[in-house]
């Protein structure tokens, strides 16, 4: 908290529609008098020793402020970073092009161990489902994202899924704390321990051990494929719980759940670490509509509200949330992707107007 | 084909509701005069050298007949086979209990390299979606199912995802052939090569190479998380294509798609190998309703129709399919899980009645 009574927060507007949706959040925050001053930094990647890295000034800012809000960062191209294996090249060069996603780099740099992805149906926004209300907590540092891969012999590649007791225990503990703090009565560990008996098995063991410290919370386990099967048939039994899982499963299940409520334009996320936390909209940078004033800032706004709650600024969060959800529920002044005809600015103004009335 | 003009097919009724739904299929096949004689074998597991194995007589039968129809096999218990790692035990025994799923054992024993899982909305059966119509083809021998895992040091486990050029190329080729034979104009490879650059990268390279041999079919690629996000929002763009993917992704995506059309009671599957193919209902053995005459035989019946088409008995397949789908669409004589009140026998009789009228 600075001498002006405000908290400094790093703002990474990001690429494509990032700057527009960031402007929207800033405008709403001014109108709501949220005691935050934004320290805006760019994360345009720089090339260092053949690798794309995040500029130091961005890293320093997040480290200093310990809280950041982040728009979408484009990965250099869709997935150009398929590494060629020996079997595919003549010269035996197995290194390939190798752009690492900047989103992942940020998660790694700050050891953001828990990725929190709430997913709740938004009233008034029509999808086949209106009773989704779950919180996914994804281990965010290892698993299938270890980055360890090698070609054993020509045409035989191994990727390592790395599971450690330490990271499993840490994310499990975070999940139980989160459930406790948010009044959710059940934590479900999602896994494929029927197949990956040792790795997912250890993940489950860690969850089981942590569960003992939370006697007030029901703990259970469910197979990833079963959850996918059942939540699409009926999301209700999955409401009001927290689901915790290894990295890749969280990637998949969170996108699936986002699909059930209407897409990534509506889902917030937070990457929680011990020394810093980054709240981000996980949708893409939407280059096709960038700069046209049509972007939907909701995911970034909802992510910022997770951030406010993380900072114990709950009242501001609730007030803004109410204004945004009411605006969507009324359905008059919403952006195109939500089925409306309004510009980012008009939608933002509508939310601000609601704030004034509150 | 035997001297009686009939094909002998191995029937593995399986556990729980398996025998009841198998009876239903047999009754329908008799009524339709399908030229098949069933060789029924049990796959009650036997213990050999501390491992559960499949009885030899079952293996021999499948090997001889090369085609089998299979009901659900219960895995000894839900997932008791979490192997304890050194970090979790006192005595350093890392071997654990280790029941391998019999379903997987069958796939491995016969090197059933392609798991074909069509998923199409069934007319008259109400779900939030009525336009799902996709075919998933899952690599069925390696990937995350390699079974190779080890504890590097206390509390650090590695599971190996194994991807070979050979298996990738083989399943890709099968997918293109399948698309061609079934009139689907597009093959999409589903992957996470943005993360697993070398393993999923090699899978994609194999698909790209095979695609060159099928100029009449559009080939493209999509991220697994994106597919999950989008297909739940709108399955239509995924209709009329074949999606091919590594093992685990197929496990997850096929259950998700099954959820979209109403569950595993309605989805067939076939495990295709060079020397044998096994068609199976992938739902569970439903011990809670076993023996009560309430089970829904649809998934096994639809799987058997994939089998008939595999055997070039297309006319029988179409005739039975029409009778079954009409019975479901009318919605009068259907089982409880489909929203009706009929017994397995009544539902079966209704299908047979329709056959008579055809
Ligand atoms: C951008 C990509 C690397 C990332 C992931 O796979 O984790 C994204 O899909 C996500 O869910 O945040
Ligand atoms: C029974 C289980 C081992 C299996 C799998 O994970 O493949 C099942 O979920 C399936 O999809 O056939």
pLDDT tens by residue, B125-177: 878 888 999 999 999 999 999 999 999 999 999 999 999 999 999 999 999 99
**Predicted pLDDT of residue A195:** 92
Instruction: Give me the residue from A204, A225, A252 closest to B82, CB to CB.
Output: A204
User: Which residues surround ligand 1 with Cβ inside 6 Å?
Assistant: A 101, 103-104, 251, 282; B 194-195, 225
| Pairwise CA distance, residues A131 & A173, whole Å | 27
Give B216-270 pLDDT, tens digit per residue. 999 999 999 999 999 999 999 999 899 999 999 999 999 999 999 999 999 999 9
CB pairs under 8 A between A and B: 213
Q: Has residue A92 got a pLDDT over 90?
A: no
* A165–B156 CB contact, under 8 Å: yes
Query: Which residues contact residue A100 at a Cβ distance below 8 angstroms, ignoring those fewer than 6 apart?
Result: A51, A52, A81, A147
- What per-residue confidence (pLDDT) applies to B308? 98
Task: Give CA A282 to chain center in angstroms.
Answer: 5
pLDDT value at residue B75: 67
- Strands B133-139 and B241-245, bridge-based pairing: parallel
Of A142, A196, A282, which to mutate for an interface test with B (greatest number of B Cβ within 10 Å)?
A196
| Partner-chain contact B145 A87, CB within 8 Å | no
The pLDDT of A285-289, averaged and rounded, is 93
To the nearest whole Å, the CA of B182 is away from the closest chain A CA by 26
Which of B72, B119, B282 most suits a substitution to test ligand 2, by most atoms within 8 Å of the C-beta?
B282
Question: Which residues 41-80 of A are in CB contact (within 8 Å) with B?
Answer: 75, 79
pLDDT value, residue B55: 86
**Predicted confidence (pLDDT) per residue in B23-38, tens digit:** 999 999 999 999 999 9
Q: Which residue of B has its CA nearest to A128?
A: B128
Q: What is the pLDDT of residue B100?
A: 65
DSSP, collapsed to helix, strand or coil, labels residue A270 as: strand
Tell me the chain B residues in contact with residue A96 when contact means C-beta distances shorter than 8 Å. Answer: 197, 201
For residue A98, pLDDT beyond 60? no
Partners of residue A161 in chain B, C-beta under 8 Å: 144, 158-161
Answer yes or no: is pLDDT of A159 > 60: yes
Q: Does B198 touch chain A (CB under 8 A)?
A: yes
Q: How far is A34 from chain B (nearest CA, A)?
A: 33
Check B83 against A197: CB less than 8 A apart. Answer: yes
Cβ–Cβ gap B233/A259 under 8 Å? yes
Judged by a CB distance cut-off of 8 A, whether residue A313 touches chain B is no
Check CB contact of A195 with chain B, cutoff 8 Å: yes
B284 part of contact set with chain A, CB < 8 Å: no
Selecting from B87, B195, B230 the residue whose C-beta is nearest the C-beta of A165 gives B87
State residue A100's pLDDT score. 65
Which SS3 state, helix, strand or coil, does residue A172 take?
A: helix
Q: Is B128 on the interface with A (CB under 8 A)?
A: yes
Ligand 1, atom 9, residue with closest C-alpha: A251
Structure tokens, A185: 């009565």
A273: DSSP letter: -
DSSP secondary structure string, B41-102? -----EEETTEEE--HHHHHHHHHHSEEEE-----SSSSTTPPPPGGG-SS-------PPPH
Q: What mean pLDDT value characterizes chain A?
A: 91
Q: Provide the chain A residues 140-169 that lie in CB contact (below 8 A) with chain B.
A: 144-145, 149-151, 154-166
When pLDDT is averaged across residues A124-150 and rounded to a whole number, the result is: 93
Q: Which of B154, B157, B192 sits opposite A163 (nearest CB)?
A: B157
CA of residue B195 to ligand 1 center, whole Å: 9
Which residues of chain B make contact with A223, given a CB cutoff of 8 A? 79
Residue B132 tokens read as 């799902």
pLDDT at B221: 96
Q: What is the pLDDT of residues B276-296, one digit of tens each?
A: 999 999 999 999 999 999 999
Give the chain A residue whose CA is nearest to the CA of B84: A198
Q: Which ligand is nearest to the CA of B249?
A: 2
pLDDT at B299: 97
Q: Are A294 and A335 contacting, i.e. CB atoms less than 8 angstroms apart?
A: yes
Could you give the CA distance from residue A79 to residue B192 in angstroms, rounded to a whole number?
9
Beta-sheet strands, E only, within chain A: 7-12, 36-40, 46-48, 51-53, 67-70, 114-120, 133-139, 149-153, 156-164, 186-191, 218-223, 241-245, 270-272, 277-280
pLDDT at B205 over 90: yes
Q: How confident is the model at residue B3 (pLDDT cuts 50, 70, 90)?
A: confident
Q: How far apart are CA A167 and CA A146, in angstroms?
A: 12
Total Cβ atoms within 10 A of residue B185: 12
How close is the nearest chain A Cα to the Cα of B128, in Å? 6
* Percent of residues, chain B, with pLDDT higher than 70: 91
In terms of Cβ atoms closer than 10 Å to its own Cβ (0-12, 13-18, 19+), residue A78 is exposed
pLDDT tens per residue across span B50-87: 666 788 899 999 999 999 999 998 866 544 445 555 55
Task: Please tell me the predicted confidence (pLDDT) of residue B93.
Answer: 34
pLDDT of residue A293: 96
Q: Give the ligand with the smallest distance to the CA of B115.
A: 2
Q: What are the tokens at B229? A: 């996000």
What pLDDT is attached to residue A89?
A: 45
Cβ–ligand 2 contact at B258 (below 6 Å): no
B209 touches chain A (CB under 8 A): no
Q: Which atom of ligand 1 is nearest to the CA of A75?
A: 1
| DSSP per residue, A98-149 | -PPPHHHHHHHHTT--EEEEEEE--TT---S-S--EEEEEEE-SSBTTS--E
Nearest beta carbon to residue A196 from set B149, B221, B254: B149
Ligand that lies nearest to the alpha carbon of residue B257, given by its number in the listed order: 2
Above pLDDT 90, what percent of chain B? 80
The residue among A101 and B206 whose pLDDT is bigger is B206
Binning pLDDT at 50, 70 and 90, where does residue A125 land? confident
**Is residue A45 predicted with pLDDT exceeding 80?**
no
pTM of the entire predicted model: 0.93
């Amino acid at each position: 908290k600075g001498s002006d009574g405000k908290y400094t927060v790093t703002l990474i507007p990001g690429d494509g529609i990032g700057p527009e949706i960031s402007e929207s959040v800033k405008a709403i925050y001014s109108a709501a008098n949220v005691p935050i001053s934004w320290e805006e930094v760019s994360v345009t990647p720089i090339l260092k020793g053949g690798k794309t890295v995040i500029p130091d000034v961005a890293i320093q800012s997040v480290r200093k402020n310990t809280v950041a809000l982040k728009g979408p960062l484009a990965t250099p191209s869709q997935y150009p970073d398929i590494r060629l294996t020996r079997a595919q090249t003549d010269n035996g060069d197995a290194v390939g092009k190798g752009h690492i996603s900047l989103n992942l780099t940020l998660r790694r740099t700050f050891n953001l161990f828990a990725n929190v992805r709430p997913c709740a149906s938004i009233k008034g926004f029509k999808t086949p489902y209106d009773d989704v209300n779950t919180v996914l907590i994804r281990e965010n540092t290892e698993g299938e994202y270890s980055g360890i891969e090698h070609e054993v012999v020509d045409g035989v590649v191994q990727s390592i899924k790395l599971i450690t007791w330490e990271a499993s225990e840490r994310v499990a503990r975070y999940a139980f704390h989160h459930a406790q703090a948010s009044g959710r009565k059940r934590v479900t560990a999602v896994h494929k321990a029927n197949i990956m008996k040792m790795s997912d098995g250890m993940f489950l063991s860690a969850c089981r051990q942590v569960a003992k410290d939370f006697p007030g919370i029901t703990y259970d386990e469910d197979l990833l494929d079963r959850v996918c099967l059942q939540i699409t048939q009926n999301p209700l039994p999955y409401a009001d719980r927290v689901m915790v899982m290894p990295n890749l499963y969280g990637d998949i299940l969170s996108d699936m759940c986002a699909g059930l409520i209407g897409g990534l334009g509506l889902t917030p996320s937070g990457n929680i670490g011990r020394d810093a936390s980054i709240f981000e909209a996980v949708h893409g940078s939407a280059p096709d509509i960038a700069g046209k004033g049509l972007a939907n800032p909701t995911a970034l706004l909802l992510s910022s509200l997770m951030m406010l709650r993380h900072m114990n600024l709950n009242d501001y969060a609730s007030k803004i949330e109410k204004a945004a959800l009411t605006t969507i529920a009324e359905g008059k002044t919403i952006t195109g992707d939500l089925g409306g005809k309004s510009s980012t600015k008009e939608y933002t103004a509508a939310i601000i107007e609601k704030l004034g009335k509150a």
